[in-house]
């Protein structure tokens, strides 16, 4: 009888310790739920996708999450922002500039690491790919000694051709970064508010459609997270400053467990780093100054609205159990202590 009582108490202890752990796990929607992450970086796109006719962007993200004016780094220059997007820290921390990324190759011996480094550590055999128009990224931002397949191409069309080839032929990439540069070129040549600039954004929408359809055609979207992000926006006279146009950047995320809705106002373009690792099931490094936006992920394949990431059934269960679990956790040590005193005093001897 004494044994039965002790076993029952032990069982209750295990049960009530396990319930909160289970509840915490269940709330980590999206963690490790993806086999592939595709990040499509569009240099200089800012918030321009909401100002042009962009049928591909619209169909890809209609049922997913987006913000056209995610926060950029304070200095709205390319290396500062691509550095932050890929390294997960602000530019004051990584210190990269357009000049430094051209002069210094980034290696795993450097102080701050890219998402490719963490992906390589977690997945030694994974196919990691970076295909860029602007060569500084592959040279000065992504490590050169961790077996990332790097390709530089001199036009966006050639970049997209290479992306489609890598998506559809051979082993599918676990993590792929793509950088397209024509929108920024149009801004530097004609100005950020010019017809030519917006025409370049519309052309970019066609590129997005080509890449997305290639992923879809191979059946990868079922287990892929598809992200579009800009480094900065543009003004009539270039970029680098702190105007609203320059310091707004599109951030859009599509995937099976992505909630439909607007990403929070304080989302940064560098949060892409945290989102990518989270989706692949890699714990966020302590060095990161980025995070997964609240409400981004919900239950896989059963999309919910952004305000309600927990399923109604889970929410009710949690609400009902929480006071009980919390109360039990508080009184249990006292109860065990009293039980111990009584037991030693022989109070339970009548149970024998």
Residues 190-249 within binding reach of Zn ion (CB under 5 A): 231
What count of Cα atoms within 13 Å lies in the side-chain half-sphere of residue 35? 9
Contacting range for Zn ion; rule: CB under 5 A; set: 74-82, 245-253, 259-267, 308-316 = 74-82
How far, in whole angstroms, is CA 191 from its chain's centroid?
Answer: 31
User: Minimal distance in Å, beta carbon 212 to Zn ion?
Assistant: 22
Find the part of the chain contacting Zn ion (CB under 5 A) among 77-85, 95-103, 260-268, 343-351: 77-85
**Cα gap 143→137, rounded to integer Å:** 10
Least distance CB 268 / Zn ion (angstroms): 16
Longest dimension (CA), the chain: 93
State the residue number with the nearest CB to Zn ion: 78
**For residues 142 and 282, which CB has a smaller minimum distance to Zn ion in the complex?**
142
Site string for Zn ion, 22-61 (x = CB under 5 A): ---------------------x------------------
Q: Which of 229, 242, 237 is nearest to 192 (CA)?
A: 237
Report the residue number, 78 or 299, with the smaller CB distance to Zn ion.
78
Q: How far is the CB of 104 from Zn ion (least distance, A)?
A: 19
Take residue 176 and report the two structure tokens written for it.
């792929």
User: Is the Cβ of residue 184 or residue 205 nearer to Zn ion in the bound state?
Assistant: 184
Instruction: Select from 72, 78, 130, 138 the one that contacts Zn ion (CB under 5 A).
Output: 78
Nearer to Zn ion among residue 134 and residue 212 (C-beta): 134
| Binding of residue 156 to Zn ion (CB under 5 A) | no
| Dihedral angle over CA of 338, 339, 341, 345, nearest 10 | 140
**237 phi and psi, to 5 degrees?**
-110, 25
Q: How far is the CB of 82 from Zn ion (least distance, A)?
A: 7
Nearest Cα residue to 88 out of 76, 101, 73, 77: 73
Stretch that binds Zn ion, among 4-12, 70-78, 122-130, 262-270 (CB under 5 A): 70-78
Helix/strand/coil for 115: helix
Tokens found for residue 216: 């879809």
Instruction: CB nearer to Zn ion: give 143 or 184.
Output: 184
By C-beta, is 249 or 296 nearer to Zn ion? 249
Nearest Cα to Cα of residue 247 among 76, 48, 68:
76
- Find the angle CA(63)-CA(65)-CA(67) to the nearest 5 degrees: 130
d(CA 232, CA 128): 25
Site map (CB under 5 A) of Zn ion, residues 272-311, x = contact: ----------------------------------------
Choices 11-19, 100-108, 181-189, 243-251; region in contact with Zn ion by CB under 5 A: 181-189
Nearer to Zn ion by Cβ, of 42 and 252: the residue is: 42
Of 79 and 279, which CB lies nearer to Zn ion in the complex structure?
A: 79
Contact range with Zn ion by CB under 5 A, out of 117-125, 162-170, 180-188, 308-316: 180-188
Residue number, 64 or 269, with CB nearest to Zn ion: 269
Dist CA 100 CA 140 (whole Å) = 7
In 179-191, which positions are buried (b, 16+ CB within 10 angstroms) versus exposed (e)? bbbbbbbbbeebb
Segment lying near Zn ion (by CB under 5 A), choices 30-38, 71-79, 281-289, 339-347? 71-79
Coil, strand or helix: which one is 41?
strand
CA 231 to chain centre: 15
Structure tokens at 338: 């009293």
Sign for the pseudo-dihedral over CA of 275, 280, 286, 288: negative
Task: Tell me how far, at minimum, the Cβ of 78 lies from Zn ion, in Å.
Answer: 3
Paired sense of beta strands 65-71 and 248-254, if any = antiparallel
* List of residues contacting Zn ion (CB under 5 A): 43, 78, 184, 231
């Amino acid at each position: 009888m004494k044994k039965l009582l002790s076993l029952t108490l032990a069982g209750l202890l295990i049960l009530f310790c396990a319930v909160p752990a289970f509840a915490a796990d269940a709330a980590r929607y999206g963690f490790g739920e993806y086999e592939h992450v595709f990040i499509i970086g569009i240099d200089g796109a800012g918030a321009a996708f909401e100002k042009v006719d962009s049928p591909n962007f619209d169909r890809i993200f209609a049922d997913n999450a987006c913000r056209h004016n995610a926060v950029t780094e304070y200095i709205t220059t390319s290396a500062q922002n691509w550095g932050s997007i890929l390294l997960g820290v602000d530019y004051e921390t990584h210190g990269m500039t357009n000049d430094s990324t051209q002069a210094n190759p980034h290696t795993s011996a450097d102080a701050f690491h890219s998402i490719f480094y963490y992906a390589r550590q977690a997945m030694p055999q994974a196919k990691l790919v970076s295909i860029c128009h602007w060569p500084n990224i592959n040279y000065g931002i992504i490590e050169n000694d961790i077996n990332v397949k790097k390709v530089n191409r001199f036009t966006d069309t050639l970049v997209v051709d290479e992306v489609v080839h890598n998506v559809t032929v051979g082993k599918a990439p676990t993590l792929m970064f793509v950088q397209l540069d024509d929108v920024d070129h149009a801004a530097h040549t004609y100005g950020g508010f010019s017809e030519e600039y917006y025409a370049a954004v519309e052309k970019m929408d066609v590129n997005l459609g080509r890449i997305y359809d290639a992923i879809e055609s191979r059946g990868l979207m079922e287990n892929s997270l598809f992200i579009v992000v800009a480094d900065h926006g543009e003004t009539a006279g270039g970029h680098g400053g702190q105007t609203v146009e320059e310091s707004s950047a599109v951030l859009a995320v599509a995937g099976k467990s992505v909630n439909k809705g607007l990403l929070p106002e304080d989302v940064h373009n560098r949060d892409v780093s945290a989102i990518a690792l989270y989706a692949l099931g890699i714990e966020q490094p302590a060095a990161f100054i980025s995070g997964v936006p609240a409400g981004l992920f919900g239950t896989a394949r059963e999309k919910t609205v952004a305000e309600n990431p927990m399923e109604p059934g889970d929410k009710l269960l949690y609400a009902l159990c929480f006071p009980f679990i919390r109360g039990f956790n508080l009184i249990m040590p006292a109860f065990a202590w009293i039980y111990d005193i009584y037991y030693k005093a022989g109070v339970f001897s009548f149970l024998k």
